């Protein structure tokens, strides 16, 4: 389900990132400690009083080549205005209202978006009187907080969550595969959308998506129904979207949350950059089926080894997504486009695959017999049994004598054995351990 979005805006050094980290808590922790998973984030998820939401830290948006600090702050505010349902406007109790604060306030006021003023650095009772100045910004009651001490975070979340809209997802039948295209700007997402919907489509209707400006396009091919969740056509006006690439992560997240299969589009002409890993990492962390689509393959100078070399490069850069297949094509010429849909269907099937419990336990028993768990301080891990508790992604719960004895490397070994038996191509595989007595 798509989550509403809260953005944190404010000039530098008011504590945006500290509050961002306080709000998301451990929810941004990377599920698997695999090499290659990029760790710096400007986008996270949180939950408060039963409401789940996404959070944007605009302080994490680096805008290069800016001569004016005020201009940079203005651009970050523009991003938040475009993307957010509720905006937290961060100010500094010690500094009072500055020129930059006033500039941001004017932009936010014109946006008509719900605003919560958060007065940070109220680190003691003596500073409480400093918050009254911020009534002058015109957004109602300011919330006093201290990011350093974690005080006032609950009050801030109460105020922000109370202003969140209720987002209801468009309901689709289970047999419809929801496909999202993600990728940084200029990788050819728009061209690929046009190629898919131009050559292959039988359009049923165009439905306004549940996230702003998204278009869900249902279509059918060879008897299989799909919904294309289009982020490629969501171009915004303004130089902010030409200057910074990180906004593409925000757009991608909204599509990822609602998709079954995520197409990670890479520019075959330019190769792979760090931003590609950021975006793909969100698909992985959200447990979605994924396919790497190398676009613009028609303009790449190649020989009989080029495709394998590029595949190897993808594997080296995306060590945390070795399960994802790679498709090379040209959206412009439609060359090899016919290879895409069989792969989408396959990974969607793998994403929803369920293994009978007795078969799963046979595989794990054989794995343990071949390589027993290592001993730790004289104690050995004992695996009692395993069961699959979920799909999309396939999620397996392993009951053991002591979860702390399950070393990361041995868990990876078990995952590899399960994948060797059942493939699970194109989908993450989640393994969790629990003490046997916990379920009794």
> What are the tens digits of pLDDT across the range 175-225?
899 999 988 777 888 788 888 887 444 333 344 333 334 567 888 889 999
Residues 6+ apart with CB under 8 A from 440: none
Identify the CATH homologous superfamily for domain 5-161: P-loop containing nucleotide triphosphate hydrolases (3.40.50.300)
Q: Mapping DSSP to helix (H, G, I), strand (E, B) and coil, where does residue 279 land?
A: helix
Cite the annotated binding site for GTP by residue number: 10-17, 57-61, 120-123, 183-190, 230-234, 295-298
Q: What is the DSSP string of 374-424?
A: PEETTEE--EEEEEEEETTTTEEEEEES-GGG--HHHHHHHHHHHHHHH--
Are 177-350 and 357-439 in the same CATH fold? Answer: no
Q: Which two tokens stand for residue 159?
A: 């105020």
Say if residue 232's pLDDT is above 80.
no
177-350 maps to CATH 3.40.50.970: no
**Band of the pLDDT at 41, cuts 50, 70, 90?**
low
Task: Indicate the pTM of the whole model.
Answer: 0.75
- Cα distance between residue 269 and residue 158, in whole Å: 48
The stretch 68-86 carries a mean pLDDT of: 73
Distances (CA, A) of 381 to 368, 374, 404: 10, 7, 9
Range 404-412 average pLDDT: 92
| Beta strands 51-57; 43-48: pairing state | antiparallel
Of the ranges 147-156, 241-250, 271-280, 286-295, which one carries the lowest mean pLDDT score? 241-250
172 CB neighbour count, 10 Å cutoff: 17
Q: pLDDT value at position 27? A: 40
CA distances from 378 to 93, 374, 375, 381, 404 (A): 55, 10, 6, 10, 13
pLDDT of residue 240: 46
Binding site residue list: 10-17, 57-61, 120-123, 183-190, 230-234, 295-298
Residue spans per domain, the chain: 5-161, 177-350, 357-439
> Could you confirm whether domain 357-439 is CATH 1.10.357.10?
no
What's the whole-number mean pLDDT along residues 402-407? 91
Give the number of other Cβ atoms within 10 Å of residue 165's Cβ: 10
């Amino acid at each position: 389900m798509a989550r509403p979005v809260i953005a944190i805006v404010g000039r530098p050094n008011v504590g945006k990132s500290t509050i961002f980290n306080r709000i998301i808590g451990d929810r941004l922790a990377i599920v698997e400690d695999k090499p290659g998973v990029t760790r710096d984030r400007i986008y996270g998820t949180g939950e408060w009083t039963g409401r789940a939401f996404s959070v944007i830290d605009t302080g994490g948006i680096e805008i290069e080549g800016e001569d004016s600090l005020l201009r940079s702050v203005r651009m970050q505010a523009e991003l938040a205005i475009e993307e957010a349902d509720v905006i937290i406007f961060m100010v500094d109790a010690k500094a009072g209202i500055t020129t930059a604060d006033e500039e941001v306030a004017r932009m936010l006021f014109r946006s008509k978006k719900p605003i919560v003023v958060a007065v940070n650095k109220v680190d003691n009772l003596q500073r409480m009187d400093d918050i009254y100045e911020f009534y002058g910004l015109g957004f109602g009651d300011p919330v006093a907080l201290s990011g350093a001490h974690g005080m006032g975070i609950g009050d801030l979340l109460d105020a922000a969550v109370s202003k969140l809209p209720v987002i209801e997802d468009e309901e689709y039948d289970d047999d419809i595969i929801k496909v999202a295209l993600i990728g940084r700007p200029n990788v050819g997402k728009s061209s690929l959308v046009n190629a898919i919907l131009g050559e292959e489509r039988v359009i049923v209707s165009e439905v306004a998506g549940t996230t702003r400006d998204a278009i869900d396009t249902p279509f059918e091919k060879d008897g299989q129904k799909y919904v294309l969740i289009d982020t490629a056509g969501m171009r915004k006006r303004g130089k902010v979207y030409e200057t910074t690439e990180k906004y593409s992560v925000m757009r991608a997240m909204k599509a990822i949350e609602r998709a079954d299969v995520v197409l990670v589009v890479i520019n075959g002409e330019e190769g792979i950059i760090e931003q590609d890993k950021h975006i793909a990492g969100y698909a992985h962390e959200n447990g979605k089926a994924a396919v790497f689509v190398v676009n613009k393959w028609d303009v790449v100078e190649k020989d009989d080894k080029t495709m394998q070399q590029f595949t190897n490069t993808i594997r080296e850069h995306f060590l945390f997504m070795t399960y994802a297949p790679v498709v090379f094509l040209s959206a412009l010429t439609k060359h090899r486009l016919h290879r895409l849909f069989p792969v989408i269907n396959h990974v969607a099937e793998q994403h929803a695959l369920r293994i009978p419990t007795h078969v799963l336990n046979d595989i794990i028993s054989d794995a343990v017999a071949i390589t027993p768990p290592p001993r730790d301080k004289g104690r050995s891990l004992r695996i009692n049994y395993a069961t699959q508790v979920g799909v999309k992604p396939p999620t397996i719960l392993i009951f053991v004598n002591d979860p702390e004895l399950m070393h990361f490397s041995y868990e990876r070994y078990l995952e590899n054995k399960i994948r060797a038996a059942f493939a699970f191509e194109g989908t993450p595989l989640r393994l969790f351990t629990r003490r046997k007595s916990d379920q009794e």
